Structure 1
C-alpha cells in the first residue's frame, strides 16, 4: 500500500483546524510584507522533526519557497539552536542528533553549542547561511505550558537582502507576534 494524493485534503484540513495556525497566519502575512521574507510557523512533531503549519510568502519577485506540511530535523538551523537552548536535551542526545544533520556549511559541535548559548541569551536564533547557502534564517521560540519550546516562528530571507541591521528589528517584530498570541488567552492547541 502507498498513500495517494487523496491524503492531501485530509492533511490540509487537519492543519486548518490547528488553532495556532489560524491565529498566527495573519501575523505571518504582515511580517512577510513588512520585511520581504518568507515567514513560517512550525510545530514540534515526532520523531524530532519540525513541521511547517502556517506560512506566508513575500511579494518580491525572487523569494524562497516553503510548503505547508514540510518537515525538517528539529535541531537544524536557527530553530534547532532554540530547541537545544530551551528543551533541556542531554549533551549525549544533542551530540548524537547533531551528527545526523546535513548543512551546506556544517559548524563544529562546539561552535554550534556556543550559538545555542547565544540564542538562549538573546531570545532568538540566527542562521546566517550555514544551513542553506545564501539564506539567513531567524527564529524565535513559542513555548508550551511546560515552558519548553513546542513551536517556532521563522523568517527566511536572502542573506544579501536581509542585512544584519534588519535582523534585530525582524526578531523584535517576531517576538511581539509571539507575545501577543501567547497573551491573548486563545487556546492555541497542542
Structure 2
C-alpha cells in the first residue's frame, strides 16, 4: 500500500489475490476439487491455478489426494486460524452472551465482524439442539449488504446511495425486496438500532441483527439471531432485539473498561 495525496492507495498483487481466492474456494467446498473445475469457477487459467495450488501444497495450506488429483484445504491453515481466534479478545467476551441468547430464545446466535473486503465473517456462534435448526459455520462469509446485517451495514457505513444500489444489485435473495423499500428499512434501522429480515434472504427464516459501532459511529461487528420465522415470532422479535441490544451494550462497556 502506498500513499497518494495523503490517502492510502492499494496496489493489486494478482498472485496473492488468486491464492486467497483458491483458499476460500476450497474452504467452502464440500468435497475435494479438481484443478479444471476450480479454475473454471474462479475464472483462472488452469496452468496458473495449478501453479498456485502446488505452492500452497508445499506450504501445507492445501493438500492433494494422489489418487484423484483433487485438492482440499490443508491442516497447515489451522495454526493460522487458531492464532487469529486466540488474539481476538472479542471472541471469548461475546461467547457467553451468544450462549445465553441462544438458550433463552431457541435460535442460532452468532457474532460477525466486518472485513475490508466488504464481507461479514462469522467469528463466534452458539446453537441449541433442536429437531430443526439452521446450520451456520464458524468462518462463514457473507456479503456485507445482505439480510439484516446488511441493513445495519448500510445504515451505519460509509457507502453512498449509488454504491448501495450497485452492491444491492449483486445480492442474491430468495425473495428480493425493492431497492427503494430496502432503503426505507435501512432508514428505520438508524432510528430503532436493529434490523430484521423476515424471509427476504431465506424463505421461512427470520434474521435479527444488532450492530456494534466504533467511535465514529461506523459498524464494525454485529450480533445476529437466526431462526424459523414462526418460532422467532412466537418468542417476540422486539423482545429478542431488546435482549441483543442489552448484550451489545454490556459488551461495549466491557471493551471500554478493558481499554482502561
Is the structural similarity TM-score above 0.5?
Answer: yes
Matches of 1:57 and 1:138 in 2, distance apart?
Answer: 15
- Match of 2:215, SS state, is coil
Matches of 2:258 and 2:120 in 1, distance apart? 20
Which position in structure 2 is the counterpart of 1:176? Answer: 246
User: Bigger relative contact order, structure 1 or 2, given CA contacts below 8 A and separation 6+?
Assistant: 1
**Which residue, 116, 136, 151 being the options, matches 2:206?**
136
What does 1:27-106 align with in structure 2 at a 5 Å threshold? 27-106=97-176
What SS is found at the alignment partner of 2:82?
helix
CA contact (8 A) 1:19 1:187 kept: no
Is 1:25 aligned to 2:95, yes or no?
yes
Q: Are the structure 2 counterparts of residues 177 and 16 from structure 1 closer, same or farther at C-alpha, using a change threshold of 3 Å?
A: same
Name the residue aligned to 2:195: 125
2:190 aligned with 1:147, yes or no?
no
Task: Write the deviation string for residues 70-107 of structure 1: whole angstroms up to 9, x where unpaired.
Answer: 00000000000011111131111101100010000011
- Whether the aligned pair in 2 keeps the contact of 1:49 and 1:74 (CA below 8 Å) is yes
Cα distance in 2 for residues equivalent to 1:72 and 1:38 = 16
Secondary structure at the aligned position of 2:217 is classed as coil
Match of 1:157 in 2: 227
Instruction: Judging by fraction of residues, say which structure has more helix.
Output: 2
- Gap runs ≥5 in structure 1: none
2:185 corresponds to: 115
Give the TM-score normalised by the residue count of structure 2: 0.69
Contact map agreement 1:38 1:157 (CA 8 A) in 2 = yes
Distance in 1 of aligned mates of 2:108 and 2:78: 22
Higher-Rg structure is 2
TM-score, normalised by the number of residues in structure 1: 0.94
Query: What is the rounded CA distance, in whole Å, between the counterparts of 2:185 and 2:164 in structure 1?
Result: 13
- Greater displacement, 58-67 / 125-134: 58-67
The question of whether the paired residues in 1 share the 8 Å contact of 2:105 and 2:235 is answered with no
In structure 2, relative to structure 1, the CA distance for the partners of 1:165 and 1:59 (3 Å cut) is closer
- Cα RMSD of the aligned pairs, angstroms, is 1.5
Deviation of residue 147 (structure 1)?
1.7
